[in-house]
Amino acid sequence: MYLKNNIRRLLVYRQCLLKLKELGFEVIYSYNLGREASVSPEQVRKDFSKFGIKGKRKAGYEIDHLLEALDIIFKKDKDQNVILVGMGNIGKALSNYKGFAQHKIVICAAFDIDPSKQTKSYKIPVYPVEDISRIVKMYHVKIAIIAVPKPAAQEVCNRLIASGIQGIINFSPTNLKHPKNIFINNIDLANEMESLIYFTLNQ
C-alpha cells in the first residue's frame, strides 16, 4: 500500500482546519484538531512533526500557518489538471462534483467511446478516447480518472500510461496491470461497502 495513512490524515486535518477556520478559530491545539478528525492528539503532533510543521508550546498551532504548510505539501499553489475517462454513471457524477474545485483539482477533459456522449453539452468537453494522447500532451496532464466498465479498464489504463499519465484513480472494480512507477489508487465502491459491512456486523 503506497497510500500511507499519515498523508491521508493530513488531508483530513486540512478539511477540519478549513471548517474550524470558517467557524472563526485562529489557533488550535492538537487536542481539538484530533477530536475533530477522530485522531489522538499525539498522532496529530507526530504527523505535523514528521513534515516539520511547528506549533508553539502552550499556544498550539496557528490555523493559517497549518493551512499554508499543507498547501505547500499538497502543491496547492496552482490548479491540477486531470482527465476523466468514461462518462457513465460515475463519470458523470465526478464531472459534476463540486468538491474538486475547492481543492484546485480541475477535470479539464473527459473521454468516452460512445459518440453520443462526445459533446460540449456537459460542463466538461467530452472527446473520443483516441484523443487522449493529444489532450494529455496539450495540457501536460499527469493524473487520470478511470470510470469505464470493467472490461474496458485495462485497455484504457494502457492507453493512459502510453500517453504519459503517471497517476490513476480507478473506479473500475478490477486490479489493473501497470508498471511500478505508475501510481494507482483503486476505489472499488462495492468493496468499500463490503468492508464497512464486515466491520459493522463483526462488532
Kindly state the smallest distance separating residue 30's Cβ from a copy of itself, in Å.
Answer: 16
Which of 21, 31, 169, 182 touches DNA by CB under 7 A?
31
Q: Of the listed pieces 57-65, 97-105, 120-128, 132-140, which binds DNA according to CB under 7 A?
A: 57-65
Q: Which of 72, 93, 138, 162 binds a copy of itself (CB under 8 A)?
A: 93
Which residue in 64, 38, 31, 66 sits closest to 52, CA to CA? Answer: 66
- Tell which residue, 175, 172, 178, has the closest CA to residue 159: 178
Given a contact cutoff of 8 angstroms between Cβ atoms, the answer to whether 131 and 159 are in contact is: no
Count of Cβ atoms closer than 10 Å to residue 123 Cβ = 11
Written as one letter, the residue type at 203 is: Q
Q: Which does 30 bind (CB under 5 to 8 A by kind): a copy of itself, DNA, none?
A: DNA
Binding partner of residue 54 among a copy of itself, DNA, none, CB cut-off 5 to 8 Å per kind = DNA
Task: Tell me the window of 52-60, 79-87, 115-123, 191-199 that interacts with DNA (CB under 7 A).
Answer: 52-60
Find which of a copy of itself, DNA, none residue 12 binds, CB within 5 to 8 Å per kind.
a copy of itself
Distance, in Å, from the CA atom of 69 to the CA atom of 71, rounded to the nearest integer, reads 5
Phi, psi (5° rounding) for residue 105? -100, 125
On whether the CB atoms of residues 79 and 106 are closer than 8 A, the answer is yes
Kindly list the residues in this chain that would bind DNA in the complex (CB under 7 A).
1, 4-6, 29-31, 40-43, 45-46, 48-49, 53-61
